[in-house]
Amino acid sequence: MLNETALGVALPQVMKELQIPESTGQWLNTAFMLTVAIVIPTTGYLQVRFSRRRLFLYGMGAFTIGTLVCAIAPVFAFLVVGRVIQAGGAGLMFPLLMTTIMVLVPEGSRGRIMGNIGIVMSVAPAIGPSFGGLVLNFSNWRTIFWIILPIALVVTLFGYNKVRGEQERSKAGIDWASVVISVFAFGGLIYGLSSFGDQARGKALVSPYIPLAVGLLAMIWFVRRQLKLAKEDRALLDVNVFRSRTFTLSAIVLLAMCVSLFGLALLVPIYAQTSLGFTALEIGLVLLPGTLFNGLISPYVGRLSDKYGPTKLMRPGSIVTALALTYMCTFDIHTQLWQLFISNFLLGAGLAFIFTPLFTVSVSSLEPKLYPHGTAITGAAQQIAGAAGTAMMITVFTLVSVAAKTGGQVSDTQAAADGAHWAFVSGAIISVIAIFVTWAIKPLKK
């Protein structure tokens, strides 16, 4: 996660050194995101087929090799290849981590462990841009990868000695047709949703509706095929997990929260700079405490989840999240930094009381044999929701802003504030809907 967010701030330097335009440079992030989206659906099968030890070494090995390729890349094409190799390993690690917890940790302690992981999931992305900026002050963008490389090597070697193996549980061959279909399904959806923001800025390579339509059709085909293969115990990704009411409702809440979270992560800095005139440094310093607070309280939330049950924390968390987003709907061109701080702090607190219990309750509701598929679907849902949230927020923001400026009666700053207002409204509506879904999730039976 640190690797993924640290490179964003270095993109201008990369474009200058390798002499590439912005539209080309964006592929460093797009290629990474698409690869993760394509790899994650295969992890359900891979975790059933191979031992955790082997998958750990595959994942960390790929990430380490990709990091080295990025560090020494002489031209842009090599850098993209390195990012793809990195993403191949990264896409494997999150579902593997979640499944390992479900298998090794007793149910009464899962909340505490998920809470500890919540620190990583919240803090690492938050400090990524700061880490990247600090490195760039003293060196160039390659140093980011040279710093991450020895960490990846040490973790790989440590895992080689410490991660326990177990017997491979299935000898079934992989259904390559499902792999190919999943590439078009998940890749098409992610790329199509991500392209809406580019289209709104007039920089889309193709109409986002084309890959989105391909993705939707391929997804229907993929689901139908997995249902058929599941009867033969050969599914690449067993979608029977959605027969669990708790898992399905949890997935809906996860989608809703990630749509708002990822969309706001991109929109708030744009709004604060274009409409309010704050610098990137001011915005970063104001938003950082809320994210760090989210990470710091995650272990305590996990312990409370073990003690009182996940649903009793998710419900108030969903209300606090909706209140934070509703408060943001009042923002205009006169909004102050302290208001951004309060809203982001409330949002961080609300999400902390949702995500940790949500991960616990969703996969715990499944049969143990479905754990790998449940964690794979959870990871894929996060990727799709992130792309959807970014697309929704930026598209609403751009369309409203352009319409306001076309009338010629408002300033650019006012037009940006109008666009942000309606984007915040869309996020608030989704969060309110999530409240009702959260309250419909029943507590797990002890």
Read off the tokens for 36: 């993760």
- Of 197 and 208, the structure prediction assigns the larger pLDDT to 208
Q: Do domains 1-171 and 242-446 have the same CATH topology?
A: yes
- Of 357 and 205, the structure prediction assigns the larger pLDDT to 357
CATH class of segment(s) 242-446: mainly alpha
Helix (H, G, I), strand (E, B) or coil at 445: coil
Mean pLDDT of 403-411: 73
Whether residue 126 is predicted with pLDDT greater than 90 in this model: the reply is no
CA distance 43 to 371: 11
Concatenated DSSP letters of 392-443: HHHHHHHHHHHHHHHTTSS-HHHHHHHHHHHHHHHHHHHHHHHHHHHHHSPP
Mean pLDDT of 405-412: 73
HSE-CB at 347 with a 13 A cutoff on CA atoms is: 29
Give me the architecture of the 1-171 domain, per CATH: Up-down Bundle (1.20)
**Band of residue 83 on the pLDDT scale cut at 50, 70, 90:** very high
Residues in the chain: 446
Hunting for tokens 């992030």 — which residue is that? 29
pLDDT tens, residue by residue, 39-78: 888 888 888 888 888 899 999 999 999 999 999 998 888 9
Whether residue 301 is predicted with pLDDT greater than 90 in this model: the reply is no
Whether residue 326 is predicted with pLDDT greater than 90 in this model: the reply is yes
Are the beta carbons of 390 and 197 closer than 8 angstroms?
yes
* For the chain, domain boundaries: 1-171, 175-235, 242-446
Read off the tokens for 419: 């666009």
- Average pLDDT along the chain: 84
CA distance 150 to 155: 9
Q: Mean pLDDT check: name the lowest of 126-140, 205-219, 334-348.
A: 126-140
Calculate the dihedral angle through the C-alpha atoms of 408, 399, 340, 335, rounding to the nearest 10 degrees. 20
Q: What is the pLDDT of residue 171?
A: 66
CA distance 434 to 387: 18
CA distance 157 to 152: 9
Angle at 322 between CA 255 and CA 252, to 5 degrees: 20
CA distance 383 to 29: 13
In Å, what is the CA distance from 4 to each residue of 127, 148, 358?
Answer: 11, 11, 24
